[in-house]
């Protein structure tokens, strides 16, 4: 493979050539394949089928348009001088991808500046190229990238152009130690060629023939060692290596360094949903840092940096057993995994994943509900609602304090969740929040609040209900709301509310008409059932207004039948 700097010139305006049209469609097909691999994994049936189609279509394009000379920039891909893959227009984010997830940037980031596919390109070479792009979508290990993958594949016909040495060093910000008086700056291209040319020439052909004999002799053992290394599982080899290092030098500095190595291994395995490897890394990390006192903050940062959207899509494709395995691991990790679980819960598209996430949060935060406080300020209503649900599962006084904020949330769905969660909090915290919800206009939520208040033996409930019944806007409320308020008042009230109910019953005097409020007031007096309440009913039953007499007689008849 050769090295050359990337130079890109836009093609002149005009219709694209047939090669550009066909190759552009193939790159769109490749982009869909990479997204599917990122979401479902390389072994998914749709990914395997897309891989076969991509290989066949590129081989077909080579038959008609070879050679293909591609040049790659951070935002675009060119077929010679014609624009092939373009960057999105300003404000066009319809595909939902950040710039760092787009195909040109991924290839450019990994050092690939160009690809040349001649007519002699074989199907095996095309297969290696497509498999490399799938691996690029899934994410390479820390010590590999796209250029390294293609270089190790020893492509026979495809040429891969890499970034120049000076460009690579500048990107990595490598600085050289220079003598005093010289500026320490990134390596310039001329600084590499600091060797002197020999005074005599060399017979290149003869030198190569002498080296070829040794190369043929050494190639087989080297290839055998590489195959042996690739056949061994990284998890087993890595774990054994880290333990051997710890045994050789069991000091605190070594323990810290190995803990960071285990953290990187763990977060990478979690991001790829390699659960068995993640559990192995977690066990090793616990040996080095049992309580995660030193590595906890770093683990939190690494888990927060994962792509929660892609990870949630992968988890939704797993079966129930594997999903349970993932969240059991998350619970063992404890508080460093809270942001990861909340991120998965926020992006979950299936109820099963949301249920698993909320259950895991309830286990982790059972003794420390305040860990969930930052997420109650999230701008997404569904995140706040789910966190309120978790607090309801935890219950207790501390959870009750945290529910005061969401009880004033603008979204009624959050407030409904708060009412449900308040059932698990102590009465002194529950009653004020429930009473504050009596002003709501949501009939379903008001019914839930009144049902909970009817079970409470609290002296604050009846005066609040009476205040709402006496309010000027009581007449404008829906009939079912008025009935619910009066009915609940009968369940919790005592003789103190009898004068107000008696006044409501006789409201209108001579011109009183039969109304729902009048009937409800009479039935509420009958439900209270005290001597004073029954006396008020008997007194009103002799009213000169027929509507008042009828309401009282019906209420007394109902009370006697009960």
User: pLDDT (tens digit, 9 = 90+) per residue, 497-511?
Assistant: 788 788 877 887 766
Q: Is the pLDDT of residue 180 over 70?
A: no
Question: Which residues are paired to 164 by β-bridges?
Answer: none
83 domain-assigned: yes
pTM of the model: 0.57
Q: Is the pLDDT of residue 519 over 60?
A: yes
Q: Is the pLDDT of residue 21 over 70?
A: yes
How many degrees, rounded to 5, is the angle at CA 483 between CA 479 and CA 488? 150
Chain segment 197-252, per-residue pLDDT in tens: 656 666 777 778 778 777 777 777 887 777 776 666 666 777 788 888 888 888 88
- Sheet containing strand 112-117, edge to edge, reads 2-3, 159-162, 112-117, 68-72, 77-79, 82-85
pLDDT winner (highest mean) among 151-165, 221-235, 285-299: 285-299
Q: Is the pLDDT of residue 376 over 90?
A: yes
102 domain-assigned: yes
Grade residue 186 by pLDDT with cuts at 50, 70 and 90.
very low
Q: Is the pLDDT of residue 431 over 60?
A: yes
Higher local confidence (pLDDT), 519 or 182: 519
Region for 263 from its dihedrals, namely left if φ exceeds 0, alpha if ψ lies in -120 to 50, beta otherwise:
alpha
* Residue 183 neighbours by CB under 8 Å, 6+ apart: none
128 domain-assigned: yes
Which domain-ending residue is among 142, 171, 200? 171
CATH of the domain at 501: 1.25.10.10
41 domain-assigned: yes
Q: Supply the pLDDT for residue 101.
A: 59
Grade residue 189 by pLDDT with cuts at 50, 70 and 90.
very low
Q: Is the pLDDT of residue 525 over 50?
A: yes
Query: What is the biggest distance separating any 2 CA atoms in the chain, rounded to whole angstroms?
Result: 133
Burial class (CB in 10 A: 0-12, 13-18, 19+), 247: exposed
pLDDT winner (highest mean) among 9-18, 56-65, 174-183: 56-65
Mean pLDDT check: name the lowest of 36-45, 338-347, 412-421, 502-511: 502-511
Residue 506 CA to residue 539 CA, distance in Å, equals 10
Of 507, 435, 495, which Cα lies nearest the Cα of 464?
Answer: 435
CB 171 within 8 A of CB 122: no
527 domain-assigned: yes
Question: Which residues are paired to 79 by β-bridges?
Answer: 70, 82
Which domain-ending residue is among 120, 140, 171? 171
Q: Supply the pLDDT for residue 383.
A: 94
Mean pLDDT check: name the lowest of 110-114, 157-161, 504-508: 504-508
At 235, give phi and psi (nearest 5°): -60, -45
How many degrees, rounded to 5, is the angle at CA 451 between CA 448 and CA 452? 90
pLDDT winner (highest mean) among 106-110, 228-232, 488-492: 106-110
CB 406 within 8 A of CB 433: no
Task: Output the CA–CA distances (angstroms, integers) from residue 242 to 238, 272, 289, 309, in the order listed.
Answer: 6, 21, 14, 32
Mean pLDDT check: name the lowest of 60-74, 159-173, 296-310: 159-173
pLDDT winner (highest mean) among 136-150, 215-229, 395-409, 441-455: 395-409
Mean pLDDT check: name the lowest of 35-39, 115-119, 230-234: 230-234
Q: Is the pLDDT of residue 366 over 90?
A: yes
Chain segment 382-430, per-residue pLDDT in tens: 999 999 999 999 999 999 999 999 999 999 899 999 999 998 999 888 8
CB 39 within 8 A of CB 108: no
Q: Is the pLDDT of residue 23 over 60?
A: yes
Q: What percent of the chain shows pLDDT beyond 70? A: 85
303 domain-assigned: no
399 domain-assigned: no
Higher local confidence (pLDDT), 524 or 413: 413
pLDDT winner (highest mean) among 42-46, 195-199, 278-282, 446-450: 278-282
Does the bond joining 307 to the residue before it have cis omega, within 30 degrees of 0?
Answer: no
Q: Supply the pLDDT for residue 516.
A: 75
Domain of 90 in residue numbering reads as 18-171
Three-class SS of residue 274? coil
Burial class (CB in 10 A: 0-12, 13-18, 19+), 278: buried
3-state secondary structure 462-513: HHHHHHHHHCHHHHHCCHHHHHHHHHHHHHHCCHHHHHHHHHHHCCCHHHCC
DSSP type of residue 437:
G
Structure tokens at 545: 């207004």
Structure tokens at 512: 């009183």
Mean pLDDT check: name the lowest of 462-466, 471-475, 533-537: 471-475
Grade residue 12 by pLDDT with cuts at 50, 70 and 90.
very low
When pLDDT is averaged across residues 269-285 and rounded to a whole number, the result is 91
At 264, give phi and psi (nearest 5°): -60, -45
347 domain-assigned: no
Across all residues in the chain, what is the average pLDDT?
Answer: 82
Q: Supply the pLDDT for residue 226.
A: 76
CB 125 within 8 A of CB 156: yes
Which domain-ending residue is among 144, 171, 198? 171
Q: Is the pLDDT of residue 171 over 80?
A: no
Q: Is the dihedral of CA 34, 40, 44, 49 positive or negative?
A: negative
* Residue 366 neighbours by CB under 8 Å, 6+ apart: 394
Of 276, 271, 277, 279, which Cα lies nearest the Cα of 312?
Answer: 271
Q: Give me the number of domains the chain comprises.
A: 2
Question: Which residues are paired to 71 by β-bridges?
Answer: 78, 114
Residue 231 CA to residue 316 CA, distance in Å, equals 30
């Amino acid at each position: 493979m050769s090295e050359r700097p990337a130079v890109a010139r836009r093609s002149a305006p005009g219709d694209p050539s047939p090669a550009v049209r066909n190759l552009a469609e193939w790159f769109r097909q490749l982009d869909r394949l990479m997204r599917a691999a990122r979401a479902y994994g390389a072994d998914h049936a749709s990914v395997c089928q897309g891989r076969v189609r991509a290989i066949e279509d590129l081989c077909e394009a080579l038959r008609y348009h070879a050679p293909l000379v591609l040049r790659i920039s951070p935002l675009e891909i060119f077929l010679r001088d014609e624009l092939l893959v373009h960057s999105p227009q300003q404000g066009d984010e319809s595909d939902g991808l950040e710039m760092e997830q787009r195909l040109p940037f991924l290839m450019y980031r990994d050092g690939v500046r160009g690809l040349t596919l001649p007519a002699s390109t074989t199907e095996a070479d095309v297969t290696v190229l497509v498999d490399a792009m799938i691996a690029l979508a899934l994410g390479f290990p820390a010590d590999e990238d796209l250029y390294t993958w293609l270089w190790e594949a020893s492509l026979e016909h495809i040429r891969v152009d890499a970034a120049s040495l000076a460009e690579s060093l500048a990107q990595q910000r490598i600085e050289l130690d220079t003598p005093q008086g010289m500026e320490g700056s990134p390596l310039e291209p001329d600084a590499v060629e600091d060797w002197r040319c020999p005074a005599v020439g060399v017979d290149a052909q003869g030198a190569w023939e002498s080296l070829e004999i040794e190369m043929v002799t050494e190639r087989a053992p080297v290839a055998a060692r590489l195959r042996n290394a690739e056949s061994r599982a990284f998890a087993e080899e890595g774990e054994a290596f880290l333990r051997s290092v710890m045994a050789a030098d069991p000091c605190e500095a070594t323990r810290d360094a190995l803990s960071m190595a285990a953290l990187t291994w763990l977060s990478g395995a979690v991001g790829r949903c390699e659960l068995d490897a993640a559990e192995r890394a977690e066990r090793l990390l616990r040996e080095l840092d049992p309580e995660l006192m030193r590595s906890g903050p770093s683990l939190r940062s690494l888990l927060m940096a994962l792509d929660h959207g892609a990870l949630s899509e992968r988890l939704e494709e797993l079966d129930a057993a594997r999903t349970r395995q993932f969240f059991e691991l998350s619970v063992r990790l404890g508080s460093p995994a809270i942001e990861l679980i909340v991120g998965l819960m926020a992006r979950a598209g299936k109820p099963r994943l949301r249920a698993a996430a909320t259950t895991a949060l309830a286990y982790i935060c059972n003794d420390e509900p305040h860990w969930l406080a930052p997420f109650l300020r999230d701008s997404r209503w569904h995140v706040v609602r789910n966190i309120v649900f978790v607090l309801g599962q935890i219950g207790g006084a501390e959870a009750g304090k945290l529910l005061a904020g969401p009880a004033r949330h603008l979204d009624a769905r959050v407030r409904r969740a708060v009412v449900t969660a308040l059932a698990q909090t102590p009465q002194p915290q529950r009653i004020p929040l429930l009473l504050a919800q009596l002003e709501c206009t949501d009939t379903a939520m008001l019914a839930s609040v009144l049902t909970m208040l009817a079970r409470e033996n609290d002296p604050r409930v009846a005066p609040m209900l009476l205040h709402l019944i006496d309010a000027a806007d009581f007449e404008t409320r829906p009939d079912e709301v008025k009935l619910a308020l009066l009915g609940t008042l009968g369940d919790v009230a005592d003789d103190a509310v009898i004068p107000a109910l008696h006044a409501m019953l006789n409201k209108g005097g001579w011109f009183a008409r039969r109304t729902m409020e009048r009937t409800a007031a009479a039935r509420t007096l009958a439900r209270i059932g005290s001597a004073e309440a029954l006396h008020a009913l008997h007194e009103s039953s002799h009213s000169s207004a027929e509507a008042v007499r009828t309401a009282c007689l019906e209420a007394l008849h109902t009370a006697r039948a009960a």
